[in-house]
Amino acid sequence: MTANLHAPTPTRNYSASVELHREASDVLAGGVNSNFRMGGQPAPLFFDRAEGPYLYDVDGNRYVDYVLGMGPNILGHAHPKVVQAVAGTLEKGVLYAGQHRDEVELALRFCAMVPCADQVRFGSSGSEMDQAALRMARAATGGRLVVKFEGHYHGWFDTILVSVHPPLDEAGPEEAPVPHLPTQGQSAAAAQDVAVLPWNDLGVVKRFLTQHAHETAALIMEPILCNTCVVMPAPGYLEGVRALCDRHGVVLIFDEVITGFRVAPGGAQELLGVTPDLAVYAKALGGGFPIAAVAGKRQYMELLGTGAVLHGGSYNTNLVSTAAALATLEELASDGGASYGQMEARGQRLIDGLRELGRRAELPLHVQGLPGAFNTCFTSEQGEPDITSYRDYARRTDAGLQRRLLKALQDQGVRVTSRGTWFMSTVHDEAQIDDTLAAAEAALAEVSAE
Ligand SMILES: Cc1ncc(COP(=O)(O)O)c(C=O)c1O
């Protein structure tokens, strides 16, 4: 570990961001274009440019970026191969509302990388492709209910925005959660077809399907729970769920919007060796450009193919996003996928380094997940076992300390998501890991001094 070049606390200036946010709030609702971008400290930051692992804000502050657009920029920002591919398409137009050669090329590459993909359909965002997967499952089975799990996120649409991070006093019994709708204006009728279960408990799934299989179309889950603390499935859990879905004729959907092309080229299903019936991909697929996919077994995908199930979208496979996705997958697969090994080695160094720094600072900093995507939070004591579910996370972690650490990291030039999730890219190198660990040392010292 390098000497801590970052102490004492630097005084960072965020005044241009604060001013722009004030100005923006007059014409943009909340000054932002996604509710998930609200709530920065001291304001949602405004950025000027990004390159490789770095992001630069309008006050001239530089950050080693572990947000990476909430995961998509797996090759870092403005990767030359992606930029070149996109630039190369611009003169050919952007949208044909018709087919082009590159989308076939992309489908071939995608299906070669993703285990469940006999066929694929591309769209523009994860939220909408989750809808397509649910629609196919209902059409295939005639079932009404979709089972989703507490703490998992499958996009912001009414039909599935249920019990993502419910307040514990509104969440109901642990084994039979009360579906929680997080936003005003949501259709309660749409959400009536969703049943919520705790994740990582096979007995609960077994009991539920014994009673409700006849009316259940699908189980949808993040196979690695990235939207809550990056929780791994318990040994045998995914295999058990797979077997139960087979036994009861229920469609198993993996939402690989975060894990796809990140935790392994084919996603969590490749890493963990369990193949779903359908899967949804987005984020890293496009290397920062808007593209998403639903893929799966032919018997389900054919429902789209025959037109029995409708899926549309004006911007689907626009030339720009298709070119970006092709370049991204090509780069990820190059050299036999060597960039994954390098990314993982550096991510692991960061995980180990952060754990060590937490111990030295005598703070209960808890780091869990995978080298390509991991989470930092504070538990009550050092060395506690990993968090295994949403309720475990909500009960055992200290949101106040988390917030202080994230602000201290930001002041030290390191940007991490507001949930404490760190995404790695293939271009974060040893020097940035050194800098990040030095910044984290200073940030932790600040947190423990407060
Ligand atoms: C697991 C998961 N599914 C679906 C979505 C929604 O994707 P999008 O934001 O592209 O609509 C997200 C977004 O973060 C996600 O993390």
What per-residue confidence (pLDDT) applies to 450? 79
Ligand 1 within 6 A of 153 CB? yes
Cis before 42? omega within 30: yes
What is the three-class DSSP state of 192? coil
Q: 184-204: per-residue pLDDT in tens? A: 999 999 889 999 999 999 999
For the cut 50, the answer to whether the pLDDT of residue 2 exceeds it is no
Listed residue (218, 370, 228) closest to 294, CA to CA: 218
What per-residue confidence (pLDDT) applies to 10? 56
The whole-model pTM stands at 0.97
CB 113, CB 265: distance < 8 Å: yes
For the cut 90, the answer to whether the pLDDT of residue 7 exceeds it is no
What per-residue confidence (pLDDT) applies to 220? 99
Which of 33, 34, 129, 153, when mutated, tests ligand 1's pocket best, judged by the most ligand atoms within 8 Å of its CB?
Answer: 153
Task: Tell me how far apart the alpha carbons of residues 48 and 3 are, in angstroms, rounded to a whole number.
Answer: 30
The burial of 57, by beta-carbon neighbours within 10 Å (0-12 exposed, 13-18 middle, 19 or more buried), is given as: buried
Ligand 1 within 6 A of 148 CB? no
Task: Tell me how far apart the alpha carbons of residues 43 and 31 are, in angstroms, rounded to a whole number.
Answer: 10
Residue 48 is among the residues annotated as catalytic for this protein:
no
Run of H or E residues at 195: strand 194-197
Average pLDDT over residues 250-273: 98
Residue 130 is among the residues annotated as catalytic for this protein:
no
Ligand 1 within 6 A of 441 CB? no
Task: Tell me how far apart the alpha carbons of residues 218 and 144 are, in angstroms, rounded to a whole number.
Answer: 9
- Strands of 208-337 (E only): list them: 216-221, 251-255, 278-281, 292-296
Measuring from atom 1 of ligand 1, which residue has the nearest CA? Answer: 257
Question: What residue ranges define each of the domains in the chain, with the CATH number in brackets?
Answer: 15-78+338-449 (3.90.1150.10), 80-332 (3.40.640.10)
Average pLDDT over residues 256-261: 98
Task: Tell me how far apart the alpha carbons of residues 17 and 59 are, in angstroms, rounded to a whole number.
Answer: 7
Listed residue (447, 390, 395, 415) closest to 165, CA to CA: 390
What per-residue confidence (pLDDT) applies to 191? 86
For the cut 60, the answer to whether the pLDDT of residue 3 exceeds it is no
Q: 347-381: per-residue pLDDT in tens? A: 999 999 999 999 999 999 999 999 999 999 999 99
Q: What confidence tier does 5 reach under pLDDT thresholds 50, 70, 90? A: very low
For the cut 60, the answer to whether the pLDDT of residue 9 exceeds it is no
Pairing relationship of beta strands 194-197 and 145-149 according to DSSP bridges: parallel
Ligand 1 centroid vs 126 CA: distance in angstroms? 5
Q: What confidence tier does 1 reach under pLDDT thresholds 50, 70, 90? A: very low
For the cut 50, the answer to whether the pLDDT of residue 287 exceeds it is yes
The mean of the pLDDT values for the chain is 96
| Percent of the residues in the chain that have a pLDDT greater than 70, as a whole number | 98
Ligand 1 centroid vs 295 CA: distance in angstroms? 16
Residue 158 is among the residues annotated as catalytic for this protein:
no
Q: b vs e for 87-120, b when ≥16 Cβ sit within 10 Å of the residue's Cβ?
A: eebeeeeeeeeeeeebbebbbebbeebbbbbebb
Task: Tell me how far apart the alpha carbons of residues 124 and 95 are, in angstroms, rounded to a whole number.
Answer: 13
For the cut 70, the answer to whether the pLDDT of residue 230 exceeds it is yes
What per-residue confidence (pLDDT) applies to 284? 98
Lookup: tokens for 258: 């975060």
Average pLDDT over residues 405-416: 98
Candidates 148, 237, 283, 392; catalytic one: 283
